[in-house]
Structure 1
Amino acid sequence: MQDTPLFTEIVAFAIPQGMSRDEVLAAYAASAPIWREHPELIRKNYLLDLDGRRGGGVYLWRSRAAAVEAHGPAFRARINAAFGAEPAISIFETPLIVDNAPVPA
């Protein structure tokens, strides 16, 4: 277990009917630089379920405060502009991580 807890945030929103996979991926790619520059973000996984018309992300943060700050009014406005939807947001303490990714040589 970690001495200082991390926080996992799950953000989900509706993908509008008629929006293609390529359009969703373009919106995701346009947002990636914002997240690459955030000093408190450890990792972001973009999510897409075109059959269920849902999108979102899973974020691993250094603090709960960083997650809350990053997904405030400006973020909600960007999601609304890009997808016409209000995001649902949940934040969880992450006391333990199992990472099976291979270690680079």
Structure 2
Amino acid sequence: MIAALVLFPVPSGTTLDQMREAYELSAPRFRDVSELLSKYYLFDGDTQGGAFYLWSTRATAESFFDATWREALTERYGAPPKLSMFEVPVAIDNVATARCQL
């Protein structure tokens, strides 16, 4: 499994409600992306937005985060996104575990 962290600048003064609205418009495009296990939208409450993705394979993640993706985010937010990818050797999911024990 691969974790990808994407961070990008947002204008100072951007509110959580504005970010939520933008993210809700974006979310439907990711519902059927092959090998995307989950995506969490992020906002630091000030000047940085982003997303945390879990992918089944590195190849899929790398093919998703291509030059077209980078150009689109750069155009949308005025600066290139920062992308970091990590192997996930161990994972804990307390929500899934709790559901299974009910």
Cα deviation, residue 71, structure 1: 1.4
Contact 1:41–1:61 at 8 Å: present in 2 too?
yes
Paired residues for 1:1-105 under 5 Å: 6-51=1-46, 53-101=47-95, 102-103=98-99
Cα pair distance change 1:40/1:91, threshold 3 Å: same
| Partner SS for 1:34 | helix
TM-score, normalisation: structure 1: 0.82
Cα deviation, residue 9, structure 1: 0.6
Instruction: Determine the C-alpha separation between the residues in 2 that align with 1:79 and 1:30.
Output: 15
The residue type equivalent to 2:88 in the other structure is: T
Q: Which residue of 2 aligns with 1:3?
A: none
The residue type equivalent to 1:33 in the other structure is: P
Cα deviation, residue 21, structure 1: 2.7
Cα deviation, residue 83, structure 1: 1.8
Question: 5+ residue gaps in structure 1?
Answer: 1-5
The structure with the largest helix share of the pair is 2
The residue type equivalent to 2:99 in the other structure is: V
Question: 5+ residue gaps in structure 2?
Answer: none
| Partner SS for 1:103 | helix
Percent sequence identity over aligned pairs: 36
Farther off after superposition, 64-73 or 79-88: 79-88
Q: How many residues align?
A: 99
Farther off after superposition, 88-97 or 20-29: 20-29
Contact 1:11–1:87 at 8 Å: present in 2 too?
yes
Cα deviation, residue 17, structure 1: 2.3
The residue type equivalent to 1:72 in the other structure is: D
TM-score, normalisation: structure 2: 0.84
